[in-house]
Homo-oligomer: A and B are copies of this chain.
Amino acid sequence: MTLIADLRAAVGDDQVLNEGDLSAWELDWRRRYRGRALAVVRPADTAQVAAVVRACVQHGTSLVPQGGNTSLVGGSVPDDSGTQVLLSLSRLANIRAIDTDNLTITVDAGCVLQQVQQVAASHDLLYPLSLAAEGSASIGGTLATNAGGTQVLRYGTARELCLGLEVVTASGEIWNGLSGLRKDNTGYDLRDLFIGSEGTLGVITGATLKLYPQPAAIGTAMAAVPTLEAAVQLLTLARTRLSAGLTGFEVMNGQALGLVRTHFPQWPQPLPPSPWTVLLEQSDTESAAHAQGVFESMLEAALHDGCISDAVVAASLEQTAAMWRLREGIPLAQAEEGLNIKHDIALPVSRIAAFVQENDAALSAAWPGIRIVDFGHLGDGNLHYNVQAPVGVLAADFLADHEAAVNERVYEAVRAHGGSISAEHGIGALKRDMLARTQSPVAMQLMRAIKAALDPRGTMNPGRVL
């Protein structure tokens, strides 16, 4: 039998697409990667996924798993050879079980993140992973890339929110590692090996996730800070005062909020322009009034210490939403302003201020007039350190001429400060060449040994990560 015939036998004729316009699967979210698939295959359940993998193994064909296709690093679209099978997980979209006493939910990998958030909320519980693409990103994708988002400070990344996995291995067997256990020390940590492996070791088909009680109230505030050092000082104060109640600590530079002001003048900004602005969020177990009181007393102390120059506490849900809209508007405003060079980096919190100061100066000296748009999850040491072309320069030309050199310089500085070149989006195809240059030879050797051991034929998502 041909591969196509075997795939049809595995999932049904209708679910193997190899003609017509397949761009819905072949093009990535940023429209930066366009591949060509041998076929798009849409299995309905885990057993069908396993049958698809076995068919590919038998025919010596490689496959690319795809969830919501929102990783932004080209990890989930086929290459342009036309020889890879695109395995879409979108039909695996069942909520399998919710256990309210154990605070867990077990779901198919193709469930959309927002769907899981909503099911949890309907039981008065919280699945705290939250990110811009949550209306499209799949649970399997968030785990394959160990996604982050805005509540990592309190609840951790996708990895830390996952208790168990179901995976189809590279040989097409099903590993049922679904578990609702908080503690389990029986053998090697297979779960965390598959999490973050971006589909190169196996296909995640299901997961058991942690849930939390919904907080009684959410408090939100914005504070103007003179420097990034002052923002770090405010972070230390907030952590001490609020402990795990501090769920968000986002920083934005003046350039970032300036672009929002330019492109979205209809959105009021509650504070005057400042070198840096912090958005703080807390979850309170008592009441909205209690949350507000805690914020007010903390911000008074911060004013007194001189680490903030001004602040405002949201007094209503509308004000909270307006504050978050400013933060979430930054990438939109950047897109309005034109193409830009994005870096999703992490640094020790204690090194961020020095990194930004040194690197801003170095980049501005090398490329006069460039605009550095800095924002991100300061509480996690995760910055979106983006570079916009100088005013009046055509962005596409600037990127064509300088993107590689800008990346080189930024990543070199990240390495020098003990940072990471991919904080929350993964390696994919985009940063594959960078990986070997930032990881040590020993680390690369260990990773290659693991890949060879678990996927000896190179079936799973070749050309990604390693």
User: Which of A103, A104, A186, A244 has most chain B Cβ within 10 Å?
Assistant: A186
Shortest distance in angstroms between A204's beta carbon and chain B's nearest beta carbon?
14
**In this assembly, does A443 line the interface, its C-beta being within 8 Å of a C-beta of chain B?**
yes
* A205-219 residues at the B interface, CB under 8 angstroms: 212-213, 215
Question: Are B184 and A193 in contact, with the CB atoms below 8 A?
Answer: no
Which of B192, B285, B426 contacts A243, CB < 8 Å? B285
Which of B104, B152, B177, B244 contacts A245, CB < 8 Å? B244
Question: Are A185 and B146 in contact, with the CB atoms below 8 A?
Answer: yes
Known contacts A192-B193, A449-B454; is-contact A185 B442 (Cβ 8 Å): no
Question: Are A346 and B184 in contact, with the CB atoms below 8 A?
Answer: yes
Segment of A52-60, A154-162, A266-274 in the binding face:
A154-162
A444 CA to B176 CA, complexed, in Å: 12
Which of B154, B183, B379, B443 contacts A190, CB < 8 Å? B443
A422 CA to B215 CA, complexed, in Å: 33
A208 CA to B286 CA, complexed, in Å: 35
**In this assembly, does A388 line the interface, its C-beta being within 8 Å of a C-beta of chain B?**
no
Determine the interface band of chain A, counting residues with CB < 8 A from chain B. Answer: 35 or more
Segment of A5-13, A331-339, A433-441 in the binding face:
A433-441
Question: Are A419 and B454 in contact, with the CB atoms below 8 A?
Answer: no
**In this assembly, does A350 line the interface, its C-beta being within 8 Å of a C-beta of chain B?**
yes
**In this assembly, does A196 line the interface, its C-beta being within 8 Å of a C-beta of chain B?**
yes
**In this assembly, does A423 line the interface, its C-beta being within 8 Å of a C-beta of chain B?**
yes
Q: Which single residue of chain B is at the shortest CB-CB distance from A239? A: B213
Q: Which single residue of chain B is at the shortest CB-CB distance from A202? A: B446
Question: Are B186 and A439 in contact, with the CB atoms below 8 A?
Answer: yes
Shortest distance in angstroms between A278's beta carbon and chain B's nearest beta carbon?
15
Segment of A30-38, A167-175, A250-258, A319-327 in the binding face:
A167-175
Question: Are A348 and B185 in contact, with the CB atoms below 8 A?
Answer: no
Question: Are A185 and B350 in contact, with the CB atoms below 8 A?
Answer: no
A100 contacts across to B, CB distance below 8 A? 236, 350
A426 contacts across to B, CB distance below 8 A? 185
Q: Which single residue of chain B is at the shortest CB-CB distance from A446? A: B190
Question: Are B102 and A185 in contact, with the CB atoms below 8 A?
Answer: no
**In this assembly, does A427 line the interface, its C-beta being within 8 Å of a C-beta of chain B?**
yes
A215 CA to B381 CA, complexed, in Å: 23
Q: Which single residue of chain B is at the shortest CB-CB distance from A353? A: B101
**In this assembly, does A362 line the interface, its C-beta being within 8 Å of a C-beta of chain B?**
no
A189 contacts across to B, CB distance below 8 A? 146, 159, 189, 192-193, 195-197
A176 CA to B182 CA, complexed, in Å: 29
Question: Are B454 and A186 in contact, with the CB atoms below 8 A?
Answer: no
Question: Are A185 and B190 in contact, with the CB atoms below 8 A?
Answer: no
Q: Which single residue of chain B is at the shortest CB-CB distance from A431? A: B186
Question: Are A185 and B423 in contact, with the CB atoms below 8 A?
Answer: yes
A242 CA to B284 CA, complexed, in Å: 9
Could you mark each residue 407-430 of chain A with 1 if its beta carbon is under 8 Å from any beta carbon of chain B, else 0? 000000000001111111111000
Shortest distance in angstroms between A281's beta carbon and chain B's nearest beta carbon?
14
Which of B243, B381, B422 contacts A186, CB < 8 Å? B422
Question: Are A180 and B420 in contact, with the CB atoms below 8 A?
Answer: no
Which of B157, B173, B183, B435 contacts A424, CB < 8 Å? B183
Could you mark each residue 85-126 of chain A with 1 if its beta carbon is under 8 Å from any beta carbon of chain B, else 0? 000000000000001111110000000000000000000000
A190 CA to B442 CA, complexed, in Å: 11
Known contacts A180-B348, A244-B243, A418-B179; is-contact A465 B196 (Cβ 8 Å): no
A327 CA to B305 CA, complexed, in Å: 43
Question: Are A283 and B243 in contact, with the CB atoms below 8 A?
Answer: yes
User: Which of A176, A382, A425, A443 has most chain B Cβ within 10 Å?
Assistant: A443
**In this assembly, does A68 line the interface, its C-beta being within 8 Å of a C-beta of chain B?**
no
A160 contacts across to B, CB distance below 8 A? 156, 160
Question: Are A183 and B152 in contact, with the CB atoms below 8 A?
Answer: yes
Shortest distance in angstroms between A192's beta carbon and chain B's nearest beta carbon?
4
Q: Which single residue of chain B is at the shortest CB-CB distance from A181? A: B346
Question: Are A148 and B348 in contact, with the CB atoms below 8 A?
Answer: no
Question: Are B239 and A102 in contact, with the CB atoms below 8 A?
Answer: no
Shortest distance in angstroms between A397's beta carbon and chain B's nearest beta carbon?
31
Q: 11 A-B contacts, Cβ less than 8 Å apart?
A: A101-B232, A101-B349, A160-B160, A177-B443, A181-B381, A181-B419, A183-B380, A185-B423, A188-B451, A189-B195, A453-B453
User: A213-B243, A452-B453 given. 9 additional CB < 8 A pairs?
Assistant: A101-B349, A103-B239, A175-B442, A180-B350, A182-B381, A185-B424, A187-B443, A188-B196, A192-B193
